[in-house]
Homo-oligomer: A and B are copies of this chain.
Amino acid sequence: MPKVVPEYKETAKQRIIEAGARVFIERGYYRTSMDNIAEALGVSKGAIYQYFKSKQQLFFEVIEFILEAQKDEVMSIILSDNPMHIASEEFLEMKIRRALQTRSFGLDLFFEAARNETLRNRMSEMYDMSYREFASHVERLKNQGKIKKDADVSVTWRGLVALRDGLISSVFFGADVSDAKKTWGKVAAMLLKDIIVRNIE
């Protein structure tokens, strides 16, 4: 009675990972039992073990999947020709909405990362990659004369990312979404104006 997938083994694995991601994100690693995932997928526990040798193993692959998904998203968002677009409140709102869904996941990720070097490296690598992406985009804008030739991209980038994450976190901890958005609008603008050539604005 092949239920996970009628066609391809890879698809089956992928389906489990997606269901796993859904449940792990919703409930966190420890609150999630294999039964939960199996049920979410409408499949028996045993089926999962056909594809993943342990809960940890599944969790790692789920993390990998999520990191990969995030990577794509980061790219698609940054790459706009008007740098000030980033400072829009809509940008943060979207980020917040997404984060609220991923909520409880981040910490488990930390936990595991603390004990798993591969994972730690993977995350660090993602951070770097996302930075390089941004840097090369900025380089293009510099050539277009939209961004100052001597701007310190690194500080701007780290500042924006930290601000974004910190604001999202503040919302988790009870801050008003509108306050967060307003703060983003002002501070992100301040950071970007610092590196943008006047007449673009």
Where the two chains meet, the residues of A that have a C-beta atom closer than 8 Å to any C-beta of B are 28-31, 103-104, 106-108, 110-111, 113-114, 120-121, 123-125, 127-128, 152, 154-155, 158-159, 161-167, 169-170, 172-175, 179-180, 182-183, 186-187, 190-191, 194
10 further interface pairs, Cβ-Cβ under 8 Å (given A30-B31, A155-B187):
A28-B111, A103-B114, A104-B114, A110-B172, A124-B173, A158-B167, A162-B166, A165-B169, A166-B167, A190-B191
The smallest C-beta distance from A70 to any residue of chain B, in angstroms, reads: 12
Majority SS of interface residues in chain A?
helix
Could you say which residues of chain B place their CB within 8 Å of the CB of A113?
A: 172-173
**Complex copy number for this chain:** 4
Check if B175 sits within 8 Å of A127, measured CB to CB.
yes
Task: State the CA gap A183–B163 with chains docked (Å).
Answer: 11
- Which of B107, B124, B167 sits near A108, CB closer than 8 Å? B107
A190-B194, A191-B190 given; A165·B170 CB < 8 A: yes
Q: What are 8 A-B pairs at a CB distance below 8 A?
A: A28-B107, A30-B30, A104-B111, A127-B170, A155-B182, A159-B163, A159-B187, A162-B166
